Amino acid sequence: MSKTGAEILVECLKKHNVDLIFGYPGGVLLHIYDRLFDSDILHVLPRHEQGGIHAADGYARSTGKVGVCFGTSGPGATNLVTGIATAYLDSVPLVVFTGQVSTNLIGGDAFQEADIVGITRPIVKHSYLVKDVEDLAPTIAEAFHLAKTGRPGPVLVDLPKDVIAAKSKNLCSTDIKLVGYNPTYEGHPMQIKKMLKMLENAKAPVVLIGGGVKWSNAHEELKKFVETLNLPVVSSLMGIGAFPNPHKNWVGWAGMHGNYASNKTLTEADFILAIGTRFSDRTTGRLDAYAPKAKKAQIDIDPTSIDKNVKVDIPIVGDCKTVLNQILNYIKDFNWDKCKNDREDWLKKIEYWNNERPFSYKFSDKIIKPQFVVEKIYEVTNGDAIITTEVGQNQMWAAQFYKFKDPRQFITSGGLGTMGYGFPAAIGAKLGNPNKEVFDIAGDGSFLMNMQELCTAVQYRVGVKVAILNNKFLGMIRQWQHLFYNKRYSYSCLECQPDFVKLADAYGCVGFQVVNPSDVEPVLRESLKIKDKPVLFDFLVDREENVYPMVPAGAALNEMIYGEK
Amino acid sequence: MRHIISVLVENKFGVLARIAGLFSGRGYNIESLSVNATENEDISIMTIVTRGDDHIIEQIIKQLRKLVNTIKVRDVTQVDHIERELALLKVHATQRTRPDILSIIETFRGKVVDITKESLVVEITGDQNKLNAIINVLEPYGIIEIIKSGTIAIARGNKSTTDFTKQDIKSQEE
């Protein structure tokens, strides 16, 4: 029996357990949309393709499943580009389907034609232009396989209109022929033992974790390993949640706005075991002064992440979960009493640093401090909410003042730093986790970048909460201008903005403006009763509050600057 | 340091662009690049000449391996190998200068492949040094045009870069 490409596509999606698609139709996608009309796959129509792909991304990060989105040829496809890059930088498994003009028109500058495979080449894990309907089913199987195995990432499949209309007998298959693709899951036993030998002799060791721990579902193995050997854990921004906070072994997260104790711990450590983290510049600060006393071992499934920025002594290529299980098997062969006393002193030292300078701010009962809002969100949600963020100060305060205990709880664009990410991502996260509270901790600048998705949230009754920490500035830009450009606030002021309460009302959501610190908690509690529509909070916060501590760009981790205590 | 890297790739849509894009996107340089089909029509081999310190070369090799269509990457300069380049040189040659030029060509074991009243075309193969040497010697007579292929290289010994491929494919298919 032969079927059209569109039929094959929709059946393949079901076969790959896709139950949710974010897509925006267009001329060349009509065959597919005609099939989707009868399908029981939930299709969510965003109001902009960028919103659609960020929602698919938020869905993927919050569930661990592959996110799927559609965009039409030309502008539909180019509107996806920022979302693809966002997913690529943070290793998010997405399969992105784009429409393409018919194969006989390709290259002729046809209406709504764009070489999307070419445009996205540096920001995808892999991409396909399907030129023959016979290749469609195997291509879809490969795309899903590539997106979720190894180091996950976005895979783009470009579908010309005539290919989708043509018929084939080559229906869904799971037959994958990827000659050159074979990611390494198991770590080399010799390397692992060498690492454990080094750890055995370490007097001041630390485990540094990143987003890879989440993607590999290694959090339980990590916890067991860390508790067994009583090791301190520091995380990158992307690793937040992969180890529970609070926990006696949790130190905090390192980097530009990380806590004092974490940055200090990395600087003073004599051994770092990095797991699923790529030593990004925001995490390391100036490289020549990074962890100068430490020997380093690094576990990562992507060999290019090893030795890229920071030279390590023991590279271990492998999947975090698999390697941690191997480690747990070898632990008993080593003598962990050797440096026990030194390590206890080390942990006490770290505890002292943590008490010396925890994340803090100066409370006011006159004006709302943005950090206070985050703290109250943490309180009213009992620390159970999924938190998405935009990018900038809001993102840093969310990371500093919400305590995350679950690996899929903190959803943020760390690598690309995409403003406008958090709100659509929250919609995706809520659709994937209908029983959880989902808060987007937002800035006024970022929210305006994708606020059209309020319409989507209302249409699909997505009860997300958007907490705008409104300082009428591009806060982080203003902060840098304050600290490094003599307070010359060049084009970072957003004094002209909509009335957010009226805006919410216009879209059919609920809006609250909060001016007094004493109203923050009651309003938040009140909002939790609203389940079937989005809630928009306009928190008018202290306009010139800065994020501290801060490692200025180009400085070393121990060259932090602090606000007034 | 100059490195010659052999890359076996699946002969698929856009693979050359992926590799060229990897070099430009990450700021690596390509001195020369040559692409050829192998005896297996589904597989091509690229020979890339690049420069960089050890750290950069290591990243280049890892990044090449990471591409889904890449089957195998080998730094040929790490092993005993033979490298060749082909050059076609169009040289100004009159009746008066022709005998001298011909004797130079003979010395370098080049071949004359075209001749006109005022010029001739030489075909010459060798490593970069040899090609540079003949170009230097012919320069005074007036070189009208130089066309060079990129460098290609092969390891000495019994093993073949493509042999590995066949095994790899076999084990995948099994």
Q: What is the pLDDT of residue B165?
A: 46
- Please answer whether residues A155 and A94 qualify as being in contact, where contact means their C-beta atoms are separated by less than 8 angstroms: yes
Over 90: is that where the pLDDT of A177 sits? no
Return the pLDDT at A175: 77
Q: Catalytic: A112?
A: yes
Per-residue confidence (pLDDT) for residue B174, from 0 to 100: 33
For B25, the closest of A122, A125, A131 (CB atoms) is: A122
Contacts of B13 in chain A (CB under 8 A): 128-129, 131
* Residues in chain B within 8 Å Cβ distance of A128: 13
Q: Do A180 and B21 touch (CB under 8 A)?
A: no
Q: Is A246 on the interface with B (CB under 8 A)?
A: no
pLDDT tens-digit series, residues A247-258: 999 999 999 999
Indicate if B82-148 has the same CATH topology as B2-78: yes
Q: What are the pLDDT digits (tens) for B32-81?
A: 999 998 888 899 999 999 999 999 999 999 999 999 999 999 999 989 99
Instruction: Give me the helices (H) in A365-498, please.
Output: 370-380, 393-401, 422-432, 444-449, 454-459, 475-484
Note whether A91 contacts B: Cβ–Cβ < 8 A. no
pLDDT(A367) > 80? yes
| DSSP per-residue letters across B99-154 | HHHHHHHHHTT-EEEEE-SSEEEEEEEE-HHHHHHHHHHHGGG-EEEEEEPPPEEE
Whether the predicted pLDDT of B162 surpasses 90: no
Chains A–B, number of C-beta pairs less than 8 Å apart: 51
pLDDT above 50 for B169: no
To test the contact with chain B by mutation, choose from A157, A304, A311 the residue with the greatest count of B C-beta atoms within 10 A, namely A304
Q: What is the CATH number of domain A370-540?
A: 3.40.50.970
Question: Per the CB < 8 Å rule, is A122 touching B9?
Answer: no
Sketch the domain layout of chain B as residue ranges: 2-78, 82-148
Containing B83, the helix (H) or strand (E) segment is strand B81-92
- Residue pair A546/A278 in contact (Cβ under 8 Å)? The answer is no
| For range A498-505, the mean pLDDT | 98
- On whether the B2-78 domain is CATH 3.30.70.260, my answer is yes
CA distance A126 to chain B (A): 7
A102 pLDDT more than 90: yes
Torsions phi, psi for A255 (to 5 deg): 115, -165
Evaluate whether the domain defined by B82-148 bears CATH number 3.30.70.1150: yes
- pLDDT, tens digit (0-9, with 9 covering 90-100), for A228-245: 999 999 999 999 999 999
Which residue out of A7, A49, A142, A375 is catalytically annotated?
A: A49
With CB atoms and an 8 Å threshold, state whether A125 touches B14.
Answer: no
Among A3, A125, A148, A161, the one annotated catalytic: A161
Of B62, B63, B168, Cβ closest to residue A179: B168
pLDDT tens per residue across span A143-153: 999 999 999 99
Distance set, CA A117 to CA A112, B17, B18 (Å): 14, 10, 10
Chain B 49-68, residues with CB within 8 Å of chain A CB atoms: 55, 58-59, 62-63, 65-68
- Active-site residue, A197 included: no
Shortest distance, CA B70 to any CA of chain A (angstroms): 5
- The answer to ipTM > 0.95 is no
Q: Are A44 and A460 in contact (CB under 8 A)?
A: yes
B169–A307 CB contact, under 8 Å:
no
The reported pLDDT for the residue numbered B13 is: 87
Closest CA to A429 of A22, A10, A50: A22
pLDDT number for residue A346: 98
Can you list the alpha helix ranges (DSSP code H) found in A489-546?
500-507, 517-527
In chain A, the residue whose alpha carbon lies closest to the alpha carbon of B64 is: A304
Q: In 3-state terms, what secondary structure has residue A360? A: coil
Chain segment A426-480, per-residue pLDDT in tens = 999 999 999 999 999 999 999 999 999 999 999 999 999 999 999 999 999 999 9
Average pLDDT for chain A: 96
Residue B96, CA distances (Å) to A151, B33, B86, B91, B156 in order? 67, 39, 28, 14, 44
Q: Domain map of chain A by residue range?
A: 3-168, 189-356, 370-540
The verdict on whether A393 is a catalytic residue reads no
Is pLDDT at A318 greater than 80 in this prediction?
Answer: yes
Q: What's the pLDDT band for A361 if we cut at 50, 70, 90?
A: very high
With a CB cutoff of 8 Å and minimum separation 6, the contacts of A170 are A8, A133, A134, A135, A136, A137, A138
B-chain CB neighbours of A177 within 8 Å are 172-173
Q: Tell me: the pLDDT tens digits for A34-52? A: 999 999 999 999 999 999 9
Between A363 and B168, residue with greater pLDDT: A363
Judged by CB atoms closer than 8 Å, whether chains meet at B66 and A122 is answered as no
Instruction: Quote the pLDDT of residue A210.
Output: 98
Percent of chain B with pLDDT over 70: 93
Half-sphere exposure of A405 (CA within 13 A, CB side): 9
DSSP assigned state of A556: B
Between A304-318, A491-505, B160-174, the lowest mean confidence (pLDDT) is in: B160-174
Judging by beta carbons within 10 Å of its beta carbon (0-12, 13-18, 19+), is residue B116 exposed, middle or buried?
Answer: exposed
Residue A161 one-letter amino acid: K
* Mean pLDDT, range A485-490, rounded to an integer: 96
User: Which residues on A lie below 8 Å from B171 (Cβ)?
Assistant: none
Alpha-carbon distance A115 to nearest alpha carbon in chain B (angstroms): 12
pLDDT for B163: 62
**Start-to-end CA span in chain B (Å):** 40
Distance from CA of B171 to the nearest CA of A (A): 9
Q: Is A161 a catalytic residue?
A: yes
pLDDT of residue A173: 76
Q: Which of A111, A356, A362, A544 is catalytic?
A: A111
Q: What is the pLDDT of residues A191-204, one digit of tens each?
A: 999 999 999 999 99
Q: Is A172 helix (H, G, I), strand (E, B) or coil?
A: coil
∠ Cα A455 A459 A465 (to 5°): 65
Given B13, B22, B70, which is nearest A180 (Cβ)? Answer: B70
Q: How far is CA A248 from CA A244, A252, A378, in A?
A: 9, 11, 20
Does CATH place domain A3-168 in 1.10.150.120? no
Mean pLDDT of B110-123: 96
Q: How far is the alpha carbon of B81 from chain A, nearest alpha carbon, in Å?
A: 25
Q: How many CB atoms lie within 10 A of CB B124?
A: 20
Confidence band, pLDDT 50/70/90 cuts, at residue A564: low
Q: Provide the token pair at B87.
A: 């050059």
Is the confidence at residue A339, as pLDDT, over 60?
A: yes
Best residue in B66, B71, B171 for a mutation probing chain A (most A CBs within 10 Å): B66
Q: Do domains A3-168 and A370-540 have the same CATH topology?
A: yes
Q: For a pLDDT cut of 90, what percent of chain B falls above it?
A: 82
What is the DSSP track for A98-166? EEE--TTTTTS--TT---HHHHTGGGSSEEEE--SGGGHHHHHHHHHHHHHSSS--EEEEEEEHHHHHS
pLDDT at B157: 86
| Residues A478, A473: Cα–Cα separation, whole Å | 7
Provide, rounded to the nearest whole percent, the portion of chain A with pLDDT above 90: 97
Residue B80 Cα, gap to closest chain A Cα (Å):
26
CATH architecture of A189-356: 3-Layer(aba) Sandwich (3.40)
- Give the one of A117, A180, A182 whose C-beta lies nearest to B14's C-beta: A117
Give B120-140 pLDDT, tens digit per residue. 999 999 999 999 999 999 999
Using CA atoms in the order A502, A506, A510, A514, what is the torsion angle rounded to 10 degrees?
-10
Integer Cα distance of A316 and A324 in angstroms: 11
Residue A563: pLDDT band (50, 70, 90) is confident
- pLDDT, one tens digit per residue, over A69-82 is 999 999 999 999 99
Residue B171 has pLDDT above 70, yes or no: no
Establish if B151 touches chain A: CB-CB under 8 angstroms. no
